[in-house]
Structure formats: C-alpha cells, structure tokens
C-alpha cells in the first residue's frame, strides 16, 4: 500500500505540470484561439456570470466530453492540439483537472490562476448566463 497523499501535495504536483495563466493572460489566450472551459456549477454561473465565449462542461463529465475515445465526447472539444484553459470558481479543481487533461493528451491544457473570482476581480468581461435556470 502506498503512503497517503494530502490534497495539498496532489494540487502542488498537478500545478507543477502546468503553465498556469493569470486572468489577463487567459483573456489574451482566448483571443488567440484558446478555448476556455468553465467547469463551475449552474448555480454559480447563474449568480456570478460567465466568461463570454467560454464553454460550460461540468467537472463531473469533463474528461468524457473531451476524450474522443470515451463514447461520450463532444466533437467540438476533442482537439488535443488546441489550448484548453479550464476555469473553476477559485482555481483549485481546475488545476487538478488540467493535469488530468494533460494525461489524456491535451498537452496545452492549463487553468486560470484564481479561477472565475480572479477573472471578475481583474475587470475582465463577464456576461449573464442565459441558459442557467433559476
């Protein structure tokens, strides 16, 4: 049996594999063709807004939607050469998920430092989510 890991150690290991983007750099990457994938729940998207032109893929199905071999992939999201920038609420679960996407062949997968909260605090564009339900 292997030694127990802490979430802090796992997060540090995940982040060591990524070139994480500060919000302004993520905004520039999106303008240059990167896909921002918002993994937050519908309630947060409804209450706090969304990054314009981002795609919502809940964390619970993220890997299956992006992996073309899963049988549940969204063909619009499976390009392993495209830069995928994940966004969660605060930048923790997105780091773990981006590291896993790297294992799935998305060599440019990364996340936003500080998540959506940092994006909004930086004064970057935020839109209302018209699809989120009350």
Q: Is 59 exposed, middle or buried (0-12, 13-18, 19+ CB in 10 A)?
A: middle
Tell me the CA end-to-end span of the chain in Å, nearest whole number. 46
pLDDT given at position 84? 98
pLDDT given at position 134? 36
H or E element, residue 10: helix 7-16
Cα–Cα dist 120/39, whole Å:
16
What string of pLDDT tens digits covers the 134 residues of the chain? 688 999 999 999 999 999 999 999 999 999 999 999 999 999 999 999 999 999 999 999 999 999 999 999 999 999 999 999 999 999 999 999 999 999 999 999 999 999 999 999 999 999 987 665 43
Cα–Cα dist 129/42, whole Å:
9
């Amino acid at each position: 049996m292997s030694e127990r890991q802490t979430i802090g150690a796992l997060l540090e290991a995940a982040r060591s594999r990524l070139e994480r983007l500060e919000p302004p750099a993520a905004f520039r990457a999106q303008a240059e063709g990167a896909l921002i994938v918002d993994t937050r729940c519908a309630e947060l998207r409804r209450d706090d807004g969304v990054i314009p032109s981002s795609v919502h893929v809940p964390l619970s199905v993220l890997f299956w939607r992006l992996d073309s071999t899963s049988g549940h992939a969204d063909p619009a999201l499976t390009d392993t050469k495209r830069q995928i920038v994940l966004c969660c609420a605060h930048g923790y679960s997105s780091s773990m998920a981006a590291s896993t996407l790297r294992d799935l062949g998305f060599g440019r997968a990364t996340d936003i430092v500080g998540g959506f909260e940092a994006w909004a605090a930086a004064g970057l564009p935020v839109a209302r989510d018209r699809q989120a339900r009350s």
